[in-house]
Structures are given as structure tokens and as C-alpha cells.
């Protein structure tokens, strides 16, 4: 009887772990979907606003629209969503917690070793939540507000200075990692 039970357990365990993995894969897919909704929407409004009101006029898009859009996506999906960075501009909302910080540090190490940041992500169960982060690579457009401080236009510099006296989010170049989209959901 005992051998039979052991045999049965040996037979069933792989199925159970396959099922558990399938659940994790589904969560990973869901988290990835939620996280990839925000950047293209934000980019579109940013480009539109730059056309209408110039770079400095588009700063409020990053300041007010980003959290508003994130709030809407949260409402629709049940996932909390925010942006985090190791070098923050808005220290009231973008400072990473320990889990996010270690993921961001790992992304930076991999980028420094030559890996393209476009696909970098991390998703796992942490306590009673599922957590996921996706790297946000610096593109040409981003340099207008996140590039080397001495290359920002005087108008951009002045508006940034008014809103973010403690700004750490300049000095980037294309291909570096500006930060990450971070999403989480209670299980």
C-alpha cells in the first residue's frame, strides 16, 4: 500500500506542478498585458502634446496624465500600476521598494553587459501578491527631458526646475533603462 501511494504521488506530482506553473504563466501573461498598455498610450499623448504646446508644455502629460492613465488601467483590470526608477524625478511617487529596486538593479547589470532592455521583465509571486516589472528603455524622444542636463532646452530646464527641485532623472542616453512599469495584484 505504501509503495502504491509513493508510486501514485510520484505519478501525480508532475501534473500538479505543471498546473501550478500554468497558473503562474497565466498571471505572467496578464501582468505583461497590463504593463504594456500604458507606455504606448503615454507616448501618443506625449507626442501630441509636444506638437501642440512644445516640449516644456508637454511636461504636465508626464506629471498628471501618467498617474491618471495608470489609475484608469487599475480600475479596468484590478492591477495596481505605477512607474518606478533608480534615479527618480518625482520622489513622491516613483521610489522603488526593495523588490522593484533589486529587479531594476538586475536590469541595469544585464544592459551594461550588452543585453537589449526591450524585453527585460520579471514576474513572480511575492507573499500574497503577484508582482511584475517591465523595463522602460530610453528612446530618442525621452532625451528631451531625461538627457544630459546641459543639453536640455532652457525652457524645459526651467519648467522641470519649478516642479522637481530634487530631479535625479537626467543624464540618460538611448538604450539605457529609465525605469520600469510595475504592476501588482493580490492573489
Minimum CB separation from ligand HEC for residue 163, in Å? 7
Nearer to ligand HEC, 77 or 176 (CB): 176
Nearer to ligand HEC, 22 or 44 (CB): 44
Minimum CB separation from ligand HEC for residue 138, in Å? 6
11/15 Cα distance (integer angstroms): 8
Minimum CB separation from ligand HEC for residue 88, in Å? 4
12/153 Cα distance (integer angstroms): 64
Point out which residues bind ligand HEC (CB under 6 A). 43, 46, 55, 58-59, 62-63, 66, 83, 85, 88-90, 93-94, 136, 138-139, 141-142, 144-146, 169, 178-179
Minimum CB separation from ligand HEC for residue 140, in Å? 8
Element (H, E) at 52: helix 2-60
Q: Give just the sign of the alpha carbon dihedral 173, 59, 67, 29.
A: negative
Nearer to ligand HEC, 146 or 184 (CB): 146
Tell me whether residue 132 is exposed, middle or buried, using C-beta atoms within 10 angstroms of its C-beta: 0 to 12, 13 to 18, 19 or more. buried
**DSSP codes of every residue in 105-135:** HHHHHHHHTT--GGG-EEEEEETTEEEEEEE
Minimum CB separation from ligand HEC for residue 77, in Å? 20
1/128 Cα distance (integer angstroms): 37
26/179 Cα distance (integer angstroms): 25
Amino acid at each position: 500500500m505504501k509503495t502504491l501511494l509513493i508510486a501514485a504521488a510520484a505519478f501525480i506530482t508532475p501534473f500538479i506542478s505543471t498546473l501550478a506553473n500554468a497558473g503562474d504563466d497565466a498571471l505572467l501573461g496578464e501582468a505583461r498585458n497590463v504593463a504594456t498598455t500604458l507606455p504606448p498610450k503615454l507616448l501618443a499623448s506625449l507626442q501630441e502634446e509636444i506638437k501642440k504646446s512644445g516640449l516644456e508644455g508637454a511636461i504636465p502629460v508626464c506629471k498628471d496624465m501618467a498617474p491618471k492613465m495608470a489609475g484608469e488601467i487599475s480600475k479596468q483590470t484590478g492591477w495596481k500600476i505605477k512607474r518606478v526608477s533608480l534615479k527618480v524625478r518625482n520622489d513622491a511617487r516613483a521610489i522603488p521598494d526593495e523588490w522593484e529596486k533589486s529587479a531594476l538593479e538586475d536590469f541595469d547589470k544585464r544592459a551594461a553587459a550588452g543585453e537589449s532592455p526591450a524585453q527585460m521583465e520579471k514576474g513572480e509571486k511575492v507573499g500574497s501578491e503577484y508582482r511584475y516589472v517591465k523595463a522602460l528603455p530610453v528612446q530618442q524622444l525621452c532625451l528631451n527631458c531625461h538627457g544630459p542636463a546641459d543639453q536640455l532646452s532652457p525652457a524645459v530646464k526651467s519648467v522641470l526646475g519649478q516642479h522637481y527641485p530634487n530631479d535625479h532623472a537626467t543624464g540618460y542616453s538611448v538604450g539605457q533603462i529609465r525605469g520600469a512599469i510595475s504592476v501588482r495584484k493580490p492573489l
